[in-house]
């Protein structure tokens, strides 16, 4: 939990700055956008000049969040000047510079005025100011605590945005990131008028036929390792093209893999447009896929992490499943001590 020191730092940083840019990580998710939109609304209410810019557009599934579709996508010719002019740049839901995509270099150039609010575990980061709480279920929960302490009363759009941040990062209250804090804040947001069925429907019941067929092909080609404890699927470029579902965020497919009783680690490999491979990792219980991701320069949380790898699909599958097998052995050896 954040305490008096963090609330004081937040108050002081808001008071001291006028021209503020608010941004988040590449391929923004519900927590990223929800947190960003609420921070921006709070700062505007405080009379600040606030601009938002991201390295990628909001995905289709999150455009129901008020303001999400209008966040500009970074264009150096326009937005480098915004970063240069700003007194403060608030970065939410991300500490790792390599998750800023095309904004990585320009953000590093202004690191001495970046204020990072995040819940991801990281080893040191380049930003001048930080409010980090790895115990928080979502960045939106940290944002809720911060702005509520300052007297902000969430309007309908802000309440929904924070609810979406917390709900999506906890898998709609089923991952073990689902803490007392998650339910406590969610209950206050329901009190404020949020309808929980609506965001679920918007986010998880909007799949296209192409995506559903892609899921079917991927599952039909399921691979099991470590006696069934590791399940993985591959979305090659060829398969994505064949189904007409190229370059769509497919990390939810891991849910179907984790649903198998024997599975403790689920892995999704997906060819990206730039030839790299996106690896989504999910796990059950005490299996720490964050430690696996960091071996390859990725990151995330204990039960949900990601990596971007260079090289071919077969090589990636062998490499990651090999390390995942080692992780399971080490986890079981550790728990028997």
Q: Which does 307 bind (CB under 5 to 8 A by kind): ligand 5GP, Mn ion, none?
A: ligand 5GP
Our finding on whether 93 is near Mn ion (CB under 5 A) is: yes
Q: Which does 225 bind (CB under 5 to 8 A by kind): ligand 5GP, Mn ion, none?
A: none
Residue 219 CB, nearest approach to Mn ion (Å): 27
Interface with Mn ion by CB under 5 A: which range of 40-48, 166-174, 225-233, 315-323?
166-174
Q: Which does 99 bind (CB under 5 to 8 A by kind): ligand 5GP, Mn ion, none?
A: ligand 5GP
Given the complex with Mn ion, which of 169 and 271 has the nearer CB atom? Answer: 169
Our finding on whether 225 is near Mn ion (CB under 5 A) is: no
Q: Which does 304 bind (CB under 5 to 8 A by kind): Mn ion, ligand 5GP, none?
A: ligand 5GP
Rounded to an integer, what distance in angstroms lies between the CA atom of residue 111 and that of residue 94?
13
Q: How many residues does the chain have?
A: 337
**Own/partner pairs for 1-8, CB < 8 Å, 24+ apart?**
1/133, 1/135, 1/136, 1/145, 1/181, 2/131, 2/133, 2/136, 2/142, 2/145, 2/146, 6/131, 6/133, 6/146, 7/145, 7/146, 7/149, 7/150
Given the complex with ligand 5GP, which of 106 and 299 has the nearer CB atom? Answer: 299
Residue 235 CB, nearest approach to ligand 5GP (Å): 13
Which helix H or strand E contains 158, and what residues bound it? helix 156-169
Q: Which does 107 bind (CB under 5 to 8 A by kind): Mn ion, ligand 5GP, none?
A: none
Site for Mn ion in 99-158 (CB under 5 A): 139
Residue 95 CB, nearest approach to Mn ion (Å): 11
Residue at shortest CB range from Mn ion: 31
- Residues at the contact surface with ligand 5GP, assessed by CB under 6 A: 96, 99, 251, 280, 298-301, 304-308
Interface with Mn ion by CB under 5 A: which range of 13-21, 73-81, 86-94, 275-283?
86-94
User: Side by side, which strands form the sheet with 114-118?
Assistant: 49-52, 19-24, 88-92, 114-118, 129-132
Which of 10, 14, 31, 203 touches Mn ion by CB under 5 A?
Answer: 31
Given the complex with ligand 5GP, which of 96 and 137 has the nearer CB atom? Answer: 96
Given the complex with Mn ion, which of 93 and 271 has the nearer CB atom? Answer: 93
Rounded to an integer, what distance in angstroms lies between the CA atom of residue 117 and that of residue 40?
13
Q: How far is CA 143 from CA 7, 47, 51, 99, in A?
A: 10, 18, 18, 20
Residue 185 CB, nearest approach to ligand 5GP (Å): 19
CA angle 197, 201, 205 (to 5 degrees): 150
Residue 18 CB, nearest approach to ligand 5GP (Å): 31
Q: What are phi and psi of 300, to 5 degrees?
A: 135, -135
Residue 22, token pair as written in the block? 């608010």
Q: Which does 95 bind (CB under 5 to 8 A by kind): Mn ion, ligand 5GP, none?
A: none
The answer to whether residues 107 and 23 touch, using CB atoms and an 8 Å cutoff, is yes
In this structure, the number of other CB atoms found within 10 A of the CB of residue 197 comes to: 9
**Own/partner pairs for 150-154, CB < 8 Å, 24+ apart?**
150/7, 150/10, 150/11, 150/14, 150/42, 152/42, 152/45, 154/38, 154/189, 154/192
Residue 92 CB, nearest approach to ligand 5GP (Å): 12
Q: Which does 300 bind (CB under 5 to 8 A by kind): Mn ion, ligand 5GP, none?
A: ligand 5GP
Contacts of 314 (CB under 8 A, 6+ apart): none
Going by DSSP bridges, is the β-strand pair 230-235/223-225 parallel, antiparallel, or unpaired? antiparallel
Q: Which does 240 bind (CB under 5 to 8 A by kind): ligand 5GP, Mn ion, none?
A: none
Residue 87 CB, nearest approach to ligand 5GP (Å): 28
Per CB under 5 A, residues contacting Mn ion are: 31, 93, 139, 169
């Amino acid at each position: 939990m954040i305490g008096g020191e963090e609330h004081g730092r937040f108050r002081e940083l808001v008071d001291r700055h006028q021209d503020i840019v608010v941004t988040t990580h590449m391929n923004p998710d519900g927590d990223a956008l929800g947190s960003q939109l609420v921070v921006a609304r709070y700062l505007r209410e405080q009379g600040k000049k606030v601009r938002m810019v991201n390295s990628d557009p909001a995905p289709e599934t999150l455009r129901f969040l008020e303001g999400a579709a209008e966040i500009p996508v970074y264009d150096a010719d326009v937005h480098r000047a915004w970063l240069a002019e700003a007194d403060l740049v608030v970065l939410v839901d991300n500490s790792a510079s390599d998750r800023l995509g095309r904004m990585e270099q320009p953000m590093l150039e202004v690191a001495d005025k970046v204020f990072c609010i995040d819940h991801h575990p990281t080893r040191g980061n380049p930003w001048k100011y930080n409010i980090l709480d790895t115990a928080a279920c979502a960045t939106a929960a940290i944002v809720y605590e911060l702005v509520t302490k300052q007297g902000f009363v969430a309007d309908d759009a802000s309440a929904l945005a924070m609810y979406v941040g917390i709900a999506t990062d906890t898998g709609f209250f089923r991952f073990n990131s689902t803490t007392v804090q998650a339910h406590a804040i969610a209950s206050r947001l329901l009190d404020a008028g949020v309808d929980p069925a609506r965001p679920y429907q918007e986010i998880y019941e909007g799949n296209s036929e192409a995506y559903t067929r892609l899921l079917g092909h991927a599952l039909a080609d399921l691979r099991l390792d470590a006696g069934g404890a590791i399940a993985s699927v591959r979305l090659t470029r060829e398969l994505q093209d064949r189904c007409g579902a190229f370059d769509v965020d497919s990390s939810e497919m891991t849910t179907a893999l984790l649903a198998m009783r024997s599975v403790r680690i689920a892995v999704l490999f997906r060819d990206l447009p730039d030839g790299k491979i996106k690896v989504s990792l999910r796990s059950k219980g005490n299996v720490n896929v964050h430690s696996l991701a960091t071996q390859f320069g990725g990151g995330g949380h204990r039960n949900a992490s990601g990596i971007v790898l260079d090289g071919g699909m077969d090589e990636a599958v062998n490499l990651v499943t090999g390390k995942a097998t080692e992780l399971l052995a080490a986890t079981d050896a550790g728990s028997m001590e």
